Structure 1
């Protein structure tokens, strides 16, 4: 059975059989405490939703509440969301070739109405001010219809 150390300072695990290699590289933790293999396995897996790995008051690994996003981080995430939504809408519109078909007079009234709904959706996305994060009311895309 392997033995592990956990360092609260580095938030890392260290295999005790590799101690000489860590020391040679100046990486052996001064605050390391022995933990079970079960703890190693648990805390090297993906964190549960809303949690991050950290150390408890005794320096042992523990799941901690993930810090809340800052306003700048929320704004950046919402800007990415806005750009993804716009890209998707533009790709859908381009795939339908509505603009070309409209200019050639080869579009039905139903297709023209659907095209206008997607253009309205793009306008609504463009009007989103992401600095209002996290209180953004995102527009709903029109229902995709078979061509």
Structure 2
């Protein structure tokens, strides 16, 4: 007996041993197709090949198709979120260094680190997220 079934409609695998549980919850797919372990391993347990995504084939079993290009607006939104996160990290690193300068107790190393982090933050602010995914992010200081 095969351990998994595949639903072309849901493009998802289900453990056959849990069919009773899914049925009692009213969520067992009516189009479930039994698949052998090799199909499950290729299409569920492993990472898709580069540039591919899983899709239901005409035979009701999974197949690899070319992955759709991501929506440019989604890529821009992701890049904007990354930029905000990186700016927050830079600001968190700058704050105690700037405090040391303001208190006139900064060491030479702290002054150097402050300059490096401020330069990084300026370069981050200059990043054009609309160029996503082709963004040349500045290197984060260590």
TM-score, normalised on structure 2? 0.75
SS at structure 2 position matched to 1:64 = strand
Q: Is the 8 A contact 1:5 1:16 kept in 2?
A: no
Give the structure with higher Rg (CA).
1
- Which aligned segments of 4 or more residues in structure 1 are displaced greater than 6 angstroms? none
Per the alignment, residue 68 of structure 1 pairs with: 69
Per the alignment, residue 55 of structure 1 pairs with: 56
**1:117 matched to 2:116:** yes
Q: Is the 8 A contact 1:47 1:63 kept in 2?
A: no
Deviation of 1:35 (Å): 2.2
Shift of the 102–16 alpha-carbon distance from structure 1 to 2, 3 Å rule, reads closer
TM-score, normalised on structure 1? 0.73
CA distance in 1, matches of 2:130, 2:119: 22
List runs of 5+ in structure 1 lacking aligned partners.
none
C-alpha distance after superposition, 1:19-42 (max 9, x if no partner): 7x639937442x443322332344
Per the alignment, residue 84 of structure 1 pairs with: 85
Number of residue pairs matched? 140
**1:36 matched to 2:23:** no
C-alpha distance after superposition, 1:93-123 (max 9, x if no partner): 23xx221211121113443233122112111
Shift of the 107–32 alpha-carbon distance from structure 1 to 2, 3 Å rule, reads closer
List runs of 5+ in structure 2 lacking aligned partners.
none
Deviation of 1:70 (Å): 1.0
C-alpha distance after superposition, 1:54-93 (max 9, x if no partner): 1223221123333221101110111122122212222222
